[in-house]
Each structure stands twice: as structure tokens, then as C-alpha cells.
Structure 1
């Protein structure tokens, strides 16, 4: 029972939305490894995952304007992959084999198909423990996770705690490059759904204010522009005429099969869809079963497409909303050596939860791990 309670604390504290708290997730491998049976290992895994993703029931209730029951069912269903993988790979035999099994579980939860719902991955904390170490920091974090499953876990705990304290004492929040600014909005669920001229003029005014303050690139949250159409493009290009500012904002591009969740780059000179989201939110956005049933609709998942985009002379790693909660989009982008990260989200449905704070903490951790500038823009 104590292992289950401690696993819940590790998940709850590590994924509280506070960047310095992320390394608390490193306690999970030890609790999993020293479970007395496969059943207890499953219970430990469930406690960690459910505590880490505790905002999901309320978020689902907000999104669908329903009671908590659908969210509770989805919360439990989402935990099954995590629990099954860790329970299946658990072994009571101590030694290196146990550590290898944990790393196998971590790898499975970091990559599709299990990685599609691989939330709360402990490796996200690598950027807090080993800022600016890059891939060496990720390797050091993986080695720490492995050691936590062996009898050397007290030594690993002491070493990791030392790095944690040093990082906390010297931590600096990643900042945007010169001339870049992200705009947070508090427009609730109307963002992206209110397609009136008044709303677009309101957003244009915010962009122009930032331009007047010296911004050259202004980033707006996911879904800020709603449906991206030729009419909307003409409006923004016309209104930006006479300025030197370029807009980067979320939008949706609809076709006869569904839609793409994108980042659009627009200025007086032209506009284009810069980035197509690789992993939209499962169920609420990405609905692959529609195609299997011969139906249309839902967001398209581009999976491993466009991990980086070239813009303003930089190699940008974009992360839209859900991509900040799972492992592989950030690592795939890092493989292509980006020069900065742009993280946007539309979190109106997360009211009453820490989900947006967790997204921001994850983005900061990845930016610090690879020593990259970071621009964020969220709507709540």
C-alpha cells in the first residue's frame, strides 16, 4: 500500500505544473521495481499515471459540457496502456535485467503506438536535472532511471538529488529570441469559434500593439484564427500592410475528409501554412475510426511529418498543445537540430486543472535540455 501511495505522490507532485517538481517522477521506477508482485506493480503504475493525469476527468467534462462520468471512464481507459506495459515487463528478479525491462517499458511509452497516450513520461524531467546537456543529458537521465530499479537506487537518488538542487539554484526560464513575442489570451472557448470580423480585428489590434512595442514576430495561440480561408488570409494581409510584423498563429484548414490543425505564418507579403500538427488530441480531435467506418471528419494526424520548419532564418520545432504532453514529438524535432521551440495551445477546456501549466513546464524542460530559446502562446 505504501508503494501505491508513494507512486501517487510521485505522479501528483511531478506533474503539478511546476517545472522544478518534474524530477519527482524519477521515484516511479524504484517503486515499480521493488513491487512484491506483478499485481502490485500494476497498482503502482496505475497510481502514478492516474495521479499525473488527474486533470483529465474535469477537462473532458469542460470540453463536452457534461458531468464527470465520461471523463472518469476516459481517464481509466487511458491508463490501461501504461499499466499493461509496465505490468507485463515487471520481473521479481533483481539486477540489470530489471533495469533493461524498465527501459523497454519507457521506450514503448515514448513512441507510437503506446506513445500516443504516453503522458507523464519521466524522461521529460531530463531538462530540469541536466539543463543544456542535450542528448548527453537525455542519456544521463535514462541511466538514472535504470539505476533507480537496482539495489544502487540510494546512490542514484543522492546523485540525482544533487543535480536537482544545483539546477534549482541556477535555473533560468528559457526566453524568446530578440524580436519574438508570444501573446497569451483569455478568450475561453470562443477562440477559434467566433469567426466574426470583430474578433479578427480584436486579434489584429493585439498584434499591432506588440509590433508597436518592437516585436517583429508575434505568436498567437492554437486555433486563434479559426478556419483559415482565402477571405481570412486577405483580411490579415490587408490589415498588416504598412507594418513589418509577421504573425504566427494557430488555425484549421478544412478539406472534404477532415481538417489539419496548423500554424499559419502571415504578413503583408504573403501567408502559408507553416506547420501541420503531428499528433492532435485523441478522441476529441483525432478520430481514426471515422475512416475505418467510411465516415469523414476529425483532425488529421501527420505523425512523423514536418518535425521542424524553416522560418525567419531559423529551424523551428513547433509543438501544438497535446504534443507537449507526450515524448516523441519533442525528441523527433530535436533530432533535426532546431534553433528554437514554439509551443502553443488552446486550453480553455482545462479550467480547474493544471494541464496548461504541465504543458508549459514540459516545453520549458525540453528547451532547457537542448539550450534553445522558447516562445509560448496559450489561450485559457
Structure 2
């Protein structure tokens, strides 16, 4: 979906994504993983919409979104099924400077991403313990090592690489993730928007 992913907040875009999820899942009980920023801003209205759209299915959707408040935002993974949705994971290590600006609290500025450095190294989705990673975290040592201490069943990483057209950043992130997976002997799920 390129640059429009997460930026097109229209109801039609959400319906299109639901249709894609339903086609991918079919009638199976499954988990569908969507890229970083897929849902845009996570709100109670969006949660209710997805919950209603997933009625009658046995699918759990894990997708990227942002939770915004008056002073900044969290880059998150949410889990949604026919019973509702919840923030599953808050990014531990956002990209320094462009997203995470720790000096904001000293200067009185607002608007940057929060770093949840020591929080949620593993989370549970559909009865499985996963090590979640969002984009930049795939390249940083701390998040994966912290997660592996908790012996997850799988590594689930999401990213958004549309802005790297012509570059090799997404390929580097994929190679890094595959190396972590092989090193620790843990299955890997990757969902990237390019």
C-alpha cells in the first residue's frame, strides 16, 4: 500500500483491509499479521469497527497502529478478534531523533514517540508467546535479547519500508531478522509494507 498505509484513515480503506484479512484467513482459525502503521490511529471507534467486521470468524489480526495522546504517541501492535481489540505491544525502541526524542520532556516540546525500553518483551496472542519487534527494533541488540530471555514460541516483526524505495534497508532488516531466528532457533513471521 506504499505511503498511504496508515495515512488513509477512510472507512473504505479499513473495509478494504478487512476484506484482505478475510480472504487470507478463509474459514480457518488463524492469525493474520499486518505491517506497521496499517490501522493508523488506534481508537475505541476503530476497535469497535474491527470487532464487528470480524464477527463470525475465527481470525485474530495483529496489526500496527499508533496510540496518540496530548504529549506524544506509542507505536504499537494491536490484537483484534471477534471479541474485541487491545494494545498487544508498545514499541520498546523507536527510531532515535525522527520518532523518539527524549529531550522533549526537558524542553517542554511534545509530539514524539515514547520508548518503552524495558516493557513487554513477550506477549501472548492466540495462545502463543511471541517476541514482538517493530521495524527499527530488528536492528538493535537489546529488544531481541530481552525477548529471547523469555523463550518465545515465535518472533513476530512488522515494518514499514515504503520510504526506502531504491535502498536496501528492508533487505537488511529481513536478513537481520532471519539471522536472529536462526541463531535462537525460533520461528519467524515478517509483515512489511514496501
Aligned-partner SS, 2:51: helix
Displacement over 2 Å in runs of 4+: none
Deviation at 1:289, TM superposition (A): 2.0
The separation in 2 between residues aligned to 1:271 and 1:317, in whole angstroms, is 19
The separation in 2 between residues aligned to 1:233 and 1:223, in whole angstroms, is 15
The separation in 2 between residues aligned to 1:221 and 1:207, in whole angstroms, is 12
The separation in 2 between residues aligned to 1:213 and 1:365, in whole angstroms, is 33
Alignment of 1:332 onto 2:146: yes
Aligned residue in 2 for 1:372: 186
Structure-to-structure mapping, 1:21-32, within 5 angstroms = none
Alignment of 1:220 onto 2:34: yes
Higher strand proportion (structure 1 or 2): 2
After superposition, the Cα gap between the structure-2 partners of 1:348 and 1:213, relative to the gap in structure 1 and judged at 3 Å, is: farther
Conserved 8 A contact 2:33-2:191 = yes
Aligned-partner SS, 2:131: strand
The separation in 2 between residues aligned to 1:356 and 1:341, in whole angstroms, is 17
The separation in 2 between residues aligned to 1:305 and 1:282, in whole angstroms, is 18
Aligned-partner SS, 1:232: helix
Q: Which has the larger radius of gyration?
A: 1
Deviation at 1:215, TM superposition (A): 5.8
Aligned residue in 2 for 1:207: 21
Deviation at 1:350, TM superposition (A): 1.1
Please, which runs of 5 or more residues in structure 1 have no aligned partner?
A: 1-186
Query: Normalised by the size of structure 1, how large is the TM-score?
Result: 0.50
The separation in 1 between residues aligned to 2:29 and 2:138, in whole angstroms, is 25
Query: Normalised by the size of structure 2, how large is the TM-score?
Result: 0.97
Conserved 8 A contact 2:7-2:40 = yes
The separation in 2 between residues aligned to 1:344 and 1:194, in whole angstroms, is 19
Aligned residue in 2 for 1:295: 109
Conserved 8 A contact 2:29-2:58 = no
RMSD: 1.1
Residues paired across the two proteins, number: 194
> What does the per-residue CA deviation read over 1:104-132, in whole Å, with 9 as the maximum and x for residues that have no partner?
xxxxxxxxxxxxxxxxxxxxxxxxxxxxx
Higher helix proportion (structure 1 or 2): 1
